């Protein structure tokens, strides 16, 4: 770790201690799994900091002395304003969504009882984890044999894995989300579309992110699926979220890291119209 | 679907409507992802029913007309006593654990405030999802190219994928859980061991299930890792859960489905001491 990086980290930690804001700990240089958390904070205007230091990340987020007990296994990890830590992407989403009004009901809602809120929150989590399943399948194509090996060392297998992904798996997910959007009564008369209730949820933000990533990784196949007209509401949701003022501003800011060598990679040899 | 299966299903649905119990909807013939839910009900003595009808499962758990809005994409799905449905294994675990006293605090706890309970519940979920990551990696080895293909059609790739799984990934998970168990102060003086707090959690039950499945799938490698002595607390947890009276009774009952052609499969060619 360079001196400058140390200073940056200390500066950030200092800032955090003063503001008591959330801190995302993740790899530098790629949106990755942490992007689902960033989008939650950005959309809701929640202050957050990031510590991105690849040299010490794994020890930092996995060390019981730092993160408390029990420790985590993988990034991202989230440091809460009270100094406690949480790990596992979906757990972070599930923990933050109801607090920040992204679980299908407003933060200050007084009409629903606790059971109804818990159920909506679980439905948001159900949808989010289905989005994350798709994300994991994208990763699995280019790291098909093992995440312990380089892409170049498993390219033959990746070429084979990309075929059923493009032909069956990707359309299966798009069809599911299209069905979710078609059956949501809140989307009648061209409203939304929203995956759950008539509010933007963490699941909406996550699906937007996956579609943006798929445009980068599989531009030919995604264009072809879009032009089929079968998943109209799915692409309409992507457009809606992209045009939400806070998201539009974020996507243009330097806080948004570009797709490169993360989960969503562009290997032209893995893409095709089908 | 045969007439007998229809009758069975109606009988079960009839019983459910009377008792208002939970109903697990999953494939027949394998423990699968639903086992994490069964173990929760069995350990806590919570009444539940199952509908296992492979012919209609996918339409049943994915149909908005049956499961409500939004629908699910995959089994398992859980029908709640109030008639509503939830999908995604981890979401079911996360929903049930605090209700049934498996999230690191007792159901009737009055010492912790809501924030502390939400945090413990999230830590139980964090641990559970790490157990589920391991489960997904087990699946990924024998369905390495795609879950849309038969094992026999991706055997060459599976043989290659099994090597880094046995050498790196499996020990990485065991080391993590060993570290979680070593640092939990509740396990001092040989108590437990427990992953979280001084109570059995859904994460404990899930880790027990994975170890039992790994014994079936990778008997040579697991024996070799056990004999290394590096993961003593992990195997002690397995033994502890196995001997919990309600779990011991369940494992001998006909409600417990045997490992066969599910996620935990035994392909001797994929196993080795390392």
Domain check: are B125 and B148 in the same one? yes
ipTM for this prediction: 0.91
Segment B57-82 mean pLDDT: 94
User: What distance in Å separates the CA atoms of residue A61 and residue A74, rounded to the nearest whole number?
Assistant: 7
pLDDT-derived band at A147 (thresholds 50, 70, 90) equals confident
Nearest to residue B219, comparing CAs of B258, B257, B265? B265
Domain-located, residue B107:
no
A149 and A203 part of one domain? yes
**Is B104 within the bounds of a domain?**
no
Q: Which of the listed residues A99, A126, A148 is the one where a domain comes to its end?
A: A99
B92-125 CB burial, b ≥16 within 10 A, e <16: bbbbbbbebbbbbbeeeeeeeeeeeebbbbbbbb
Percentage of chain B modeled with pLDDT above 70? 93
Same domain for B12 and B133?
A: no
For residue range A92-114, list pLDDT tens digits in order.
999 999 999 999 999 999 999 99
Summarised one tens digit per residue, pLDDT across range B191-228 is 999 999 999 999 999 999 999 999 999 999 999 999 99
Considering chain B, what is the average pLDDT of its residues? Answer: 92
Do B135 and B265 have their domain in common? yes
CA distance B57 to B49: 15
Whole-number Å distance between alpha carbons of A67 and A81: 13
Which H or E element spans position A140?
helix A114-142
Nearest to A125 among B91, B164, B176 (CB): B91
Hey, is the C-beta of B84 within 8 angstroms of any chain A C-beta?
yes
Cβ within 8 Å of A, B 148-177:
148-149, 157, 160-161, 164-165, 168-169, 172-173, 176
User: Is residue A133's pLDDT more than 70?
Assistant: yes
Q: What is the pLDDT of residue A23?
A: 97
A residues 98-137 closer than 8 Å to B (CB):
118-119, 122-123, 125-127, 129-130, 133, 136
Shared domain for B144 and B251, answered yes or no, is yes
Per-residue pLDDT tens digits for B34-47: 999 999 999 999 99
Contact A144 B144 (CB under 8 A): yes
A134 in the same domain as A27: no
Distance from the Cα of A132 to chain B's closest Cα (Å) equals 11
Q: Is the pLDDT of residue B11 over 90?
A: no
pLDDT of residue B148: 86
Is B197 part of the contact surface with chain A (CB cutoff 8 Å)? no
A191 is a domain residue: yes
From CA B152, how far away is CA B143, in angstroms rounded?
10
CB-CB: which of A72, A126, A196 is closest to B88? Answer: A126
Q: Answer yes or no: is B172 within a domain.
A: yes
Strand order from edge to edge, sheet including A77-79? A48-51, A22-25, A77-79, A85-87
At residue B76, the pLDDT reads: 97
Q: Residue B78: what pLDDT?
A: 97
B69 touches A: beta carbon within 8 Å: yes
Contacts B140 to A, Cβ<8 Å: 140
Note whether B51 and B174 are same-domain residues.
no
Is B106 a domain residue? Answer: no
Task: Please indicate whether, in this complex, the C-beta atoms of A69 and B130 are within 8 angstroms of each other.
Answer: no
In this prediction, residue A19 carries a pLDDT of 52
Closest by Cβ to A71, choosing from B86, B95, B183? B183
Say yes or no: A120 and A91 in one domain: no
Domain of residue B259, residue span: 114-270
pLDDT at A216 over 60: yes
* Per-residue model confidence as pLDDT tens digits over A28-81: 999 999 999 999 999 999 999 999 999 999 989 999 999 999 999 999 999 999
Residue-wise pLDDT for A176-185, tens only, equals 999 999 999 9
Q: Which two tokens stand for residue A111?
A: 């009409």
**A160, closest residue in chain B (CA to CA):** B145
State the Cα angle at A43 between A42 and A46, rounded to 5°: 55
Residue B50 lies in a domain: yes
CA–CA dist B15, B272 (Å, integer)? 47
List of chain A residues whose C-beta atoms are within 8 Å of the C-beta of residue B71: 176, 179-180, 183
Q: What are φ and ψ of residue B24, in 5° steps?
A: -90, 130
* Mean pLDDT (whole number) for B5-34: 70
Residue A104 lies in a domain: no
∠ CA(B51), CA(B56), CA(B62), 5° rounding? 90
| Among A84, A125, A136, beta carbon nearest to B94 | A125
Looking at the structure, do residues B93 and B120 belong to the same domain, yes or no?
Answer: no
Does residue B124 share a domain with residue B86?
no
pLDDT over 50 (residue B22): yes
Mean pLDDT of chain A: 92
Strand, helix or coil at A85? Answer: strand
Write out the H or E segment, with its range, that includes residue A79: strand A77-79
Residue B193: the pLDDT is 98
Choice between B228 and A262, residue whose per-residue pLDDT is larger: B228
A2 or B255, higher pLDDT: B255
CATH code of the domain covering residue B54: 3.40.30.10
Distance between CA atoms of residues A247 and A263, nearest Å: 21
How big is chain B by its Cα radius of gyration, in Å? 19
B119 plus B235 within the same structural domain: yes
Contact state of B130 with A73 under an 8 Å Cβ cutoff = yes
| A107 domain-assigned | no
Structurally, chain B folds into a number of domains equal to 2
- If DSSP states are collapsed to H, E and C, what string results for A213-264? HHHHHCHHHHHHHHHCCCCHHHHHHHHHHHCCHHHHHHHHCCCCCCCCCCCC
Please name the residue ranges forming H helices in chain B. 3-19, 35-44, 57-62, 64-67, 89-99, 114-142, 155-164, 170-183, 202-217, 219-227, 232-243, 245-252
pLDDT band at B14; cut points 50, 70, 90 = very low
Q: Are residues A143 and A259 in the same domain?
A: yes
Q: Where is the domain boundary, B49, B67, B99?
A: B99
Instruction: Render pLDDT for B104-138 as a digit per residue (tens, 0 to 9).
Output: 999 999 999 999 999 999 999 999 999 999 999 99
Judged by CB atoms closer than 8 Å, whether chains meet at B164 and A146 is answered as: yes
CATH number for the domain including A124? 1.20.1050.10
Q: Of A99, A130, A163, which residue constitutes the final position of a domain?
A: A99
Which of B164, B183, B196 has its CB closest to that of A148?
Answer: B164
- Written as six digits, the tokens of B167 are 């050498």
Residue B16: predicted pLDDT: 43
Mean pLDDT of B157-168: 95
Are B126 and A86 inside 8 Å of each other by CB?
A: yes
| B5 has a pLDDT exceeding 70 | no
pLDDT bucket at A1, cuts 50 / 70 / 90: very low
What's the pLDDT at A6? 38
């Amino acid at each position: 770790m360079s001196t400058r990086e140390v200073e940056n980290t200390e500066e950030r930690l200092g800032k955090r201690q003063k503001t008591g804001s959330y801190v995302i700990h993740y790899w530098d240089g790629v949106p990755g799994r942490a992007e689902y958390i960033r989008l939650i904070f950005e959309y809701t205007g929640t202050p957050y900091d990031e510590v991105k230091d690849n040299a010490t990340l794994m020890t930092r987020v996995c060390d019981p002395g730092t993160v408390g007990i029990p420790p985590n296994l993988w990034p991202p990890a989230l440091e809460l304003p009270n100094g406690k830590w949480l790990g596992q992407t979906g757990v972070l989403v599930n923990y933050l969504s109801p607090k920040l009004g992204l679980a299908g009901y407003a933060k200050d809602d007084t009409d629903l009882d606790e059971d109804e809120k818990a159920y909506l929150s679980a439905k948001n989590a159900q949808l989010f984890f289905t989005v994350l399943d798709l994300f994991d399948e994208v990763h699995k194509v280019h790291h098909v044999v093992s995440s312990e090996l380089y892409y170049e060392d498993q390219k033959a297998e990746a070429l084979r894995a990309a075929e059923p992904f493009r032909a069956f798996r990707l359309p299966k997910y798009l069809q599911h989300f299209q069905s979710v959007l078609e059956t949501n009564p809140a989307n009648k008369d061209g409203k939304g579309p929203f995956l759950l209730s008539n509010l933007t949820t963490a699941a909406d933000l996550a699906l937007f992110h996956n579609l943006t990533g798929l445009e980068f990784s599989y531009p030919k196949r995604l264009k072809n699926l879009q032009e089929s007209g079968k998943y109209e509401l799915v692409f309409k949701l992507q457009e809606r979220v992209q045009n939400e003022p806070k998201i539009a501003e974020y996507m243009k800011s330097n806080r948004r890291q570009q797709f490169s060598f993360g989960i969503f990679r562009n290997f032209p040899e893995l893409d095709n119209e089908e």
